[in-house]
Structure 1
């Protein structure tokens, strides 16, 4: 006759797994760690991670519906102090941005999305890039060639020391361009690595523009920053869905789809500004246009800076 199986009870370790002190209760008397076995399943590890960093529970789904379909609602709720029901704005932004850049990294046409000027990055002929750029006017490298020509003209009137300094500068630029031509994929990779940082830096700039547009309203800067977090979260969702769709297409360039997503984001921003700042539709649209114009300029300048850094960091 077989004896009944006894169920093994996990009483926890005899010594603290953290500091090694002998355990006499539920908690270590030396470091305070709980007396339990930490051989957890992958499922538990995943749940703990999401719970600690992203509060991935009912709050997430409760936050997504108003974020997607009620522009400005989450911002108003947070400012009004009704915060416990929803994920905090910064956590929401970080979570969605991680998903967005993950989707972007998996897109098979990612390389074609990085452009200099109006054409994709094509750095095939190191000796012809600068000249063709100046003639066609469609490359971000065109200004290097113009600068070289201006420097050549100025050499006649400049001193020898100035000429040498300019020659060294032009040579450094030329060397970096040639390096970029030989490391096309690395340039793209550097740019994609910088994108999350760039967008995070853009958030306070976006909020600052809002602060200047509504300077008479005496609204705290933090409120504008919360608005920026929610709007950019929505933007990441819409463009994330766009990149998923483009990933299944043979031609990743679809002006129609990009135009639709841009219109959706523009309408969302107008409605959100109207709901949060409580001004007339005419004033809201005017400030939307001013915000968009200034923000696009900042984005363009930032992209040029980060592209320059991406090329400069090449070895």
Structure 2
């Protein structure tokens, strides 16, 4: 017995089902003739072999995916699949990589996005109403922030910290109103500011705006009770609406606007891959409808959809890489800017041409019919993408 590998007993028969062996794997049950009881270095060798094998498939998959429209799909239909990465795995990995790089590129483009200083967010550290020029503005900002605290209470429950924060906000509002009115004696800390008046001391005519909590849905308690939905789904919807209100209120506040927008972008990018996976089978249904007389199976259309989106994500990855490269290099070599822009436009044009050629080669129709169906599918897909993006934004707002 070799020191490098411990083989299973059984001679020329499978140790699992006793079938005669004709190679390294049993043709009856598929079990390998090699034992899993190996020295550590043997396991490392197997791991390296698996990695190199996967890398070999990647090298056979990525170039034709980018440069040969429809080639991978036709190969898959012909049964030649071992050399290539499976369509769903290919699309899945490229999708996650594209959104990950997109998030990094967006952070780079915005310079990391200036987040609000923590001292400005915590009530009591600085006057939250210092930039208000009228008592009406003070009252509006107070209503917004008190409503935001109330929504937080509904989400996390009662908290002494939240009660103290509300008292601090009311105290700061009273102090600011006293400054604007020229009064030397501000109202008590725990009391709400009096009816809002203008800086000249006259009462505001727009009394409805003084208390928006009475009419705006943002300031009302969220309660969902849909009879035909289970309780846990009602609670989940209610919690999502509360978070959506908190995010919207944060965007209306200048001090927390930047942070809220960054949070929305991060949550949207996190939700986009999920919406794309929902979109994929719907796109395959669209292909099935457009080519219903070709009598192809739904799985064939789904494979076309997977390879099409895998190419789009690969194209997007290259575009993001070019954009990031330009951000790094153009400040030091401005002559690279037109070249990078030209390459980016070339990727966009190639994406449109690629999808047309892929559709023509896979479904084998004439140029006129392919063009008509290509335009119809593209128009429908734009609407589908719009709904998917809207759903991702809503999901991002609800977290």
Name the CA distance, whole Å, in 2 between partners of 1:94 and 1:38. Answer: 32
Spell out the pairing of 1:201-240 with structure 2 (5 A cutoff).
201-240=278-317
Write the deviation string for residues 165-203 of structure 1: whole angstroms up to 9, x where unpaired.
99556x956543023535332222111212222222222
Aligned pair partner of 2:249 in 178, 194, 206: 178
| 1:140 alignment partner in structure 2 | none
Task: Tell me how far 1:275 sits from its aligned partner.
Answer: 0.4
Residue aligned with 2:40, SS: coil
| 1:36 alignment partner in structure 2 | 38
| 1:100 alignment partner in structure 2 | 98
Equivalent pair of 2:66/2:315 in contact (CA under 8 Å): no
Spell out the pairing of 1:35-114 with structure 2 (5 A cutoff).
35-38=37-40, 45=47, 48=50, 51=53, 55-57=54-56, 59-107=57-105, 109=107
Equivalent pair of 1:67/1:74 in contact (CA under 8 Å): yes
Write the deviation string for residues 190-226 of structure 1: whole angstroms up to 9, x where unpaired.
1121222222222212211111111122211111111
Name the CA distance, whole Å, in 2 between partners of 1:10 and 1:108. Answer: 54
Task: Tell me how far 1:261 sits from its aligned partner.
Answer: 2.5
Distance 1:300 1:40, change over 3 A: farther
Name the CA distance, whole Å, in 2 between partners of 1:164 and 1:56. Answer: 54
Q: TM-score, normalised by structure 1?
A: 0.63
Equivalent pair of 1:270/1:285 in contact (CA under 8 Å): yes
Aligned: 1:279 with 2:279: no
Write the deviation string for residues 61-91 of structure 1: whole angstroms up to 9, x where unpaired.
2223322222112111211223233332223
Q: TM-score, normalised by structure 2?
A: 0.51
| 1:262 alignment partner in structure 2 | 348
Aligned: 1:190 with 2:190: no
Q: How many residues matched?
A: 250
Residue aligned with 1:219, SS: coil
Task: Tell me how far 1:99 sits from its aligned partner.
Answer: 3.7
The range that moved more, 174-183 or 214-223, is 174-183
Unaligned runs of 5+ in 2: 10-14, 16-33, 117-214, 223-240, 252-256, 331-336
Name the CA distance, whole Å, in 1 between partners of 2:245 and 2:364. Answer: 53
Name the CA distance, whole Å, in 1 between partners of 2:301 and 2:269. Answer: 27
| Aligned residues: CA RMSD | 4.3
Name the CA distance, whole Å, in 2 between partners of 1:238 and 1:163. Answer: 44
Write the deviation string for residues 16-61 of structure 1: whole angstroms up to 9, x where unpaired.
xxxxxxxxx65699xx97222336798975654575xxx222x322
Aligned: 1:241 with 2:318: yes
Task: Tell me how far 1:110 sits from its aligned partner.
Answer: 5.5
Name the CA distance, whole Å, in 1 between partners of 2:87 and 2:267. Answer: 28
Name the CA distance, whole Å, in 2 between partners of 1:40 and 1:27. Answer: 15
Distance 1:40 1:100, change over 3 A: farther
Write the deviation string for residues 148-170 of structure 1: whole angstroms up to 9, x where unpaired.
xxxxxxxxxxxxxx99999556x
Name the CA distance, whole Å, in 2 between partners of 1:283 and 1:79. Answer: 22
| 1:292 alignment partner in structure 2 | 378
Residue aligned with 1:249, SS: helix
Task: Tell me how far 1:107 sits from its aligned partner.
Answer: 2.6
Task: Tell me how far 1:301 sits from its aligned partner.
Answer: 1.0
Unaligned runs of 5+ in 1: 1-8, 13-24, 114-119, 124-161
Distance 1:164 1:234, change over 3 A: closer
Aligned: 1:199 with 2:197: no
